[in-house]
């Protein structure tokens, strides 16, 4: 059975999950930590090489202040609570996104966790925080433009490979499988460049309820897809 090399997930539905229980939205975010752990375990078990989770978008800063600060607190807590286990399981953890917008406390936690797990060769785990696909394309463009301005790069040498390499996931293969929980069928400014040929899987299950079985159903969906990358099925058979 084909297994995706890289899975990217929009973890949606925490707020609705909590509201359905008469609880504050922040309770839904707290309940969202367990499925994060379960997805990481499922990826390790299934042999998925990379996992990227959308935890907080560039647009999420517009949420009520108490929800934003509760989420930021939750990220610090989760990093502290999980780092030993992640490291013991050979996971390399990196945060992608605009770090300058994060508190100094969170930035220093991130730097410490990244340094500790940097040499790990197991699951490559990326958590997108203060991330937007358009932000990513712009920061890559700025990097390449700066290199052109300094004479290190010629505009003619900016091809797909050079551009992809300047993106936040420059050293990770494009996602093979995208999962969005919570019922919406949108990309919501996630990995805009990287998702060009990704198989898209949407489920109504709210993120706090997304368990190993739900993840398994997404892997089954992926295995059932015929991926053609713009070619005909016959051409792909010939190149397989």
Residues engaged in binding ligand FPP (CB under 6 A): 11-16, 25, 29, 32-33, 36, 53, 55-56, 60, 71, 74-75, 78, 127, 182, 207
- Per DSSP, 232 falls in state -
Residues 6+ apart with CB under 8 A from 213: none
Place of tokens 């990093």: 79
Q: Which is nearer to ligand FPP, 66 or 220 (CB)?
A: 66
Question: Is the dihedral angle over the CA atoms 200, 202, 207, 210 positive or is it negative?
Answer: negative
Q: Which is nearer to ligand FPP, 124 or 140 (CB)?
A: 124
Name beta bridge partners: 180: 10, 202
Q: How far is the CB of 64 from ligand FPP (least distance, A)?
A: 11
Q: Which is nearer to ligand FPP, 22 or 155 (CB)?
A: 22
12 is catalytic: yes
Q: How far is the CB of 10 from ligand FPP (least distance, A)?
A: 8
The span from the first CA to the last CA of the chain, in angstroms, equals 15
Q: Where are the alpha helices (DSSP H) in the chain?
A: 14-19, 25-31, 33-46, 65-88, 104-117, 133-149, 160-166, 212-224, 233-239
Q: How far is the CB of 121 from ligand FPP (least distance, A)?
A: 22
Q: How far is the CB of 74 from ligand FPP (least distance, A)?
A: 6
Q: Which is nearer to ligand FPP, 33 or 212 (CB)?
A: 33
What value does the CA radius of gyration of the chain take, rounded to a whole number of Å? 18
Catalytic residues: 12, 60
């Amino acid at each position: 059975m084909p297994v995706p090399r890289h899975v990217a997930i929009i973890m949606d539905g925490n707020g609705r999950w909590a509201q359905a229980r008469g609880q504050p939205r922040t309770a839904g975010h707290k309940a969202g930590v367990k499925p994060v752990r379960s997805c990481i375990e499922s990826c390790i078990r299934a042999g998925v090489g990379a996992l990227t989770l959308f935890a907080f978008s560039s647009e999420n800063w517009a949420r009520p202040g108490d929800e934003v600060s509760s989420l930021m607190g939750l990220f610090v807590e989760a990093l502290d609570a999980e780092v030993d286990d992640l490291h013991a399981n050979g996971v390399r953890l990196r945060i992608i996104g605009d770090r300058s917008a994060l508190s100094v406390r969170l930035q220093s936690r991130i730097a410490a966790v990244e340094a500790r797990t940097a040499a790990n060769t197991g699951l490559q785990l990326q958590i997108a925080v203060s991330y937007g696909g358009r932000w990513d394309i712009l920061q890559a463009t700025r990097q390449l433009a700066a290199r052109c301005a300094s004479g290190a790069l010629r505009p003619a040498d900016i091809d797909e490979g050079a551009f992809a390499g300047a993106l936040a996931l420059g050293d990770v293969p494009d996602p093979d499988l995208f999962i969005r929980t919570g019922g919406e069928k949108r990309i919501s400014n996630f990995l805009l460049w990287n998702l060009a040929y990704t198989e898209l899987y949407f489920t109504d299950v709210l993120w706090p309820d997304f368990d190993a079985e739900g993840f398994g159903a997404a892997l089954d969906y992926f295995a059932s897809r015929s991926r053609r990358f713009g070619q005909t099925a016959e051409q792909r058979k010939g190149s397989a």
